[in-house]
Every structure is written in structure tokens, then in C-alpha cells.
Amino acid sequence: MNLEDIAPGVRGRVTRIMSPSGESADMRGQLEDIGFLPGEQVEVLRKGFLGLGPILVRIGSSTFALRESEARLVEVEVL
């Protein structure tokens, strides 16, 4: 399951960051740089209108808005 699949209010634990192909190949490194690392707890706070658009997530004490394509790269297990 990935971050895009989790409903708001649900907490999970990052299991891995997948590597995208093509232009956004450095996205994995960027996600890891801001704290999306295996073992970290993450919570989906809010999703865009009708479940589309940015996904607001909290990891540690930081809050980020991720694109759906970025959220798809973060595999999680629900806690």
C-alpha cells in the first residue's frame, strides 16, 4: 500500500521508497532528504477535493503537501 491509498486520519509506517523512472528519478532522494525513511511514522492529514490533488502528510514534527505521484512512491504499512 502507498501513501496515496491511505485515508485522512490514518497513521502508517514507511516501509520503503520506490524509485521512479524517467524525468523524476531523483524524487526518491528528495523524499528521503525531507524525512521519508523506512521505519518513520507518517499520518495523512488531508487530501485534495474529491480525493484528488495534493496530499497533506505529517512525518515526525514536519508537515508536507505531496503530489499524488510523489505519494505513490512511499510504501507504508498501516498501524
Q: Mean of the per-residue pLDDT values for the chain?
A: 89
Q: Where are the domains of the chain?
A: 3-78
State residue 55's pLDDT score.
Answer: 94
- Single pTM value for the model: 0.85
**Cβ within 8 Å of residue 1, ≥6 positions away:** 12, 75, 76, 77, 78
The mean per-residue pLDDT over the stretch 39-59 comes to: 88
List residues bridging with 62 in a β-sheet: 59
What are the distances in angstroms from CA 23 to CA 19, 32, 72? 11, 17, 16
Q: The domain 3-78 belongs to what CATH superfamily?
A: Ferrous iron transport protein A (FeoA) (2.30.30.90)
